[in-house]
């Protein structure tokens, strides 16, 4: 008896990108300066052999990947759970006012996206993107025999991180 065949579907397009500013807060509380990247996103979906006539709905996956990229494009990405970032500093009510160490920031609320993580790095961006992507497409994907979903977020052509969710 031969082993079950696995396939890996890859979606990587020029349009799957976002340009965002961020600063990485390190575990000791030090941080990088506010700066930005032009991020690229890549999806890998590993599946068992599909039944005859069964096809993964690429259009659904591509639409959701693009929606998530657009949601982060041209925003300042900030970590909602950093123990070193103190929100609620005094400042204009229309701004996100916060402090990291001795540095004070005040940014327009309309230009900030708070992410469910403790710092902003490629590792954390790929994890958050994967969680949000999987939550959005789970109902569609769960009708297929998929094994794992991986999202790679690259901040330059040869530098990035990949997060993987393995189906149980």
Q: Is residue 142 part of a domain?
A: yes
**Residue 55, pLDDT above cutoff 90:** no
**Residue 89, pLDDT above cutoff 80:** no
Give me the pLDDT at residue 90, please: 76
Structural domain harbouring 28? 6-166
Sign for the CA dihedral angle at 154, 150, 84, 20 comes to positive
Beta bridge partners of 8: 46
Total domains in the fold of the chain:
1
Give me the pLDDT at residue 7, please: 87
Q: What is the CATH number of the domain that holds 41?
A: 3.30.479.10
Rounded to an integer, what distance in angstroms lies between the CA atom of residue 111 and that of residue 6? 42
Q: Is residue 1 part of a domain?
A: no
Burial environment of residue 66 by CB neighbours within 10 A (0 to 12, 13 to 18, 19 or more): middle
Give me the pLDDT at residue 108, please: 94
pLDDT digits (tens, 9 = 90+) for 101-149: 999 999 999 999 999 999 999 999 999 999 999 999 998 888 888 999 9
Q: Is residue 112 part of a domain?
A: yes
DSSP state of 61: H
Q: Is residue 129 part of a domain?
A: yes
Q: If you average pLDDT over residues 2-26, what whole number do you get?
A: 90
**Residue 1, pLDDT above cutoff 50:** no
What SS3 state is found at 25?
strand
pLDDT higher at 149 or 49:
149
pTM for the model = 0.92
Kindly give, in sequence order, each residue whose CB lies less than 8 Å from that of residue 85, ignoring residues fewer than 6 positions away.
25, 78, 79, 98, 99, 100
Give me the pLDDT at residue 106, please: 94
Give me the pLDDT at residue 115, please: 98
């Amino acid at each position: 008896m031969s082993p079950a065949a696995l396939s890996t579907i890859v979606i990587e397009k020029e349009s799957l990108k976002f340009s965002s500013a961020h600063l990485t807060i390190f575990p000791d509380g030090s941080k990088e300066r506010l700066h930005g990247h032009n991020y690229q996103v890549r999806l890998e979906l590993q599946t068992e052999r599909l039944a005859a006539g069964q096809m993964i709905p690429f259009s659904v996956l591509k639409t959701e990947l693009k929606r998530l990229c657009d949601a982060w494009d041209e925003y300042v990405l900030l970590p909602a759970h950093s123990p070193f970032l103190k929100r609620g500093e005094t400042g204009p009510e229309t701004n996100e006012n916060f402090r990291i160490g001795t540095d004070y920031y005040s940014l327009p609320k309309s230009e900030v996206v708070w992410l469910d993580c403790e710092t902003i790095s490629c590792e954390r961006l790929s994890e958050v993107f994967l969680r949000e992507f999987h939550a959005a497409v789970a109902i569609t994907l769960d009708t297929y025999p998929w094994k794992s979903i991986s999202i790679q977020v690259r901040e330059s052509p040869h530098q990035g991180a990949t997060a993987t969710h393995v189906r149980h």
